[in-house]
Each structure stands twice: as structure tokens, then as C-alpha cells.
Chain A
Amino acid sequence: DAGVIQSPRHEVTEMGQEVTLRCKPISGHNSLFWYRQTMMRGLELLIYFNNNVPIDDSGMPEDRFSAKMPNASFSTLKIQPSEPRDSAVYFCASTQWTGGDQPQHFGDGTRLSIL
């Protein structure tokens, strides 16, 4: 079975540019999570969706960050304009949430470098 698919795997861009990260969750999963990982802050939950609806976006650092889930098989995380401090590894994870101990399945992450 295909896992969570993220693209691109690496992204290098200049400050001020728009960045779009993409995620395809595992088919049939109903919850999707976006995380950011840095040395300083560790693993931070940015936003998560259930049945394509944003449930909690309190982890989104600034208005420059936005996320969408137009359908059950696709989500994007956008940064506009990007800044060097946005450099991090961004993970997408999904789970088939039924109230129990279903674990989250992670993609391989996107390493973002803002110059």
C-alpha cells in the first residue's frame, strides 16, 4: 500500500517567494496533520483536518501560513511570503481516526530552505 506522499522532497527558494508543499494522505484516512520540525523547536503541530475540515490551526505561526484540504486525497501548505526562519522539515501525517489508538502515518517530509 502506498504511504503518505509528500512533494517536493526538497525545496530551495529565495526569501519572499511563495512556497507550496503538497501531501497525499493514505487512501481511506480521514485525519491529516501538518508538522514542522526544527532543531530549536522540535516537532510542532501546525494544523490538522478531519474529513477535510480544519479542526485546529492554532499552531500556524503567522498569517503567512495557510493550509487547505480541498478533498480527501490532497492537502497543501502554503507560505507566502517565505522568510529564512521558515526553513525546516515539514511533515504531513494521516490516520484513519475512529476514536482508538490508530497511529499517525508520516510522509518522508519536505526539507525547505529559504535563502
Chain B
Amino acid sequence: AQTVTQSQPEMSVQEAETVTLSCTYDTSESNYYLFWYKQPPSRQMILVIRQEAYKQQNATENRFSVNFQKAAKSFSLKISDSQLGDTAMYFCAFMKPGSGNTGKLIFGQGTTLQVKP
């Protein structure tokens, strides 16, 4: 069974600095998808970024980028130029493709990020 582990329950960063959130996963699959979701205090779950395992190029969305290390089963999220609005809980999630899985996500425990002014 697949598992997702986020080993940092809480982190903090100064505004305008860069922070990296860690995520590791366990799977025997060769292709799969990885996601980062953000949950601000308003409790909405917002998709931040996604990565397909077959793509070697790391995904980037504006200030958000990932460092995907397939052999190490690592999928970290880097937030550059941190802003106060980035304060949120961040969830890493794994999806196994294929018709038998219907989009089911396996989530990590979450990392609470506090951006300080």
C-alpha cells in the first residue's frame, strides 16, 4: 500500500525568504502523480502544484516549485519569496493512475507553515 510522509509538522519562515517543505512516499508503482495542496486558515483546500512521475522536469507554478527525486521517493515543495498569504497547512498527496483508482488521493499528515512579517 502507498504511504505519504511529511516529517515536519510545523515550520516558519520570514517574509520574502525561501522555505522547503519535505515529503516522502512509498510505492512500487513506476508511474503515478504527486500533488501539493494548501489549506489556509479559511480551510479551503487549494491545489498548488502537481507532478507526473514520468516527467523528469520539476514542475513550477510561479513562486512554487518542486524537487522531485524519483529514486529517493522524495517530493519537496519550495516556496520562494514567501508572502504572508502563504501561511497555511500544506499537504502532499499521491495518486496512482489507472482505471481502477478513480482519482483516489493518499495524503500526508500535513505541514503547518507560518510566514512571519
> Residues of A with Cβ closer than 8 Å to B?
31, 33, 42-43, 45, 48, 50, 55-56, 89, 91, 93, 95, 97, 99-106, 108-109, 111
| CB neighbours of B42 from chain A (8 A) | 108
* Interface residue from B44, B103, B109 paired with A106 (Cβ < 8 Å): B44
Contact A45 B104 (CB under 8 A): yes
| CB neighbours of B105 from chain A (8 A) | 33, 45, 104
Q: How distant is the Cα of A77 from the Cα of B47 in the complex, in angstroms?
A: 24
- Residue total for B at the interface (Cβ-Cβ under 8 A): 22
Contact B47 A43 (CB under 8 A): no
Contact B44 A104 (CB under 8 A): no
> Residues of B with Cβ closer than 8 Å to A?
33, 35, 42-47, 50, 52, 91, 95, 97-99, 102-105, 107, 109-110
* Interface residue from B91, B97, B109, B110 paired with A100 (Cβ < 8 Å): B97
Please name 4 further chain A to chain B contacts, defined as beta carbons within 8 Å, in addition to the given A97-B103, A101-B35, sorted by A numbering: A99-B99, A101-B95, A101-B97, A106-B45
Residue of B nearest to A9 (CB): B43
Chain A CB within 10 A, most for which of B35, B42, B46, B95: B95
Contact B104 A48 (CB under 8 A): yes
Q: How distant is the Cα of A99 from the Cα of B50 in the complex, in angstroms?
A: 15
Contact A108 B44 (CB under 8 A): yes
Q: How distant is the Cα of A103 from the Cα of B104 in the complex, in angstroms?
A: 10
Contact B43 A101 (CB under 8 A): no
Contact A99 B109 (CB under 8 A): no
| CB neighbours of A50 from chain B (8 A) | 102
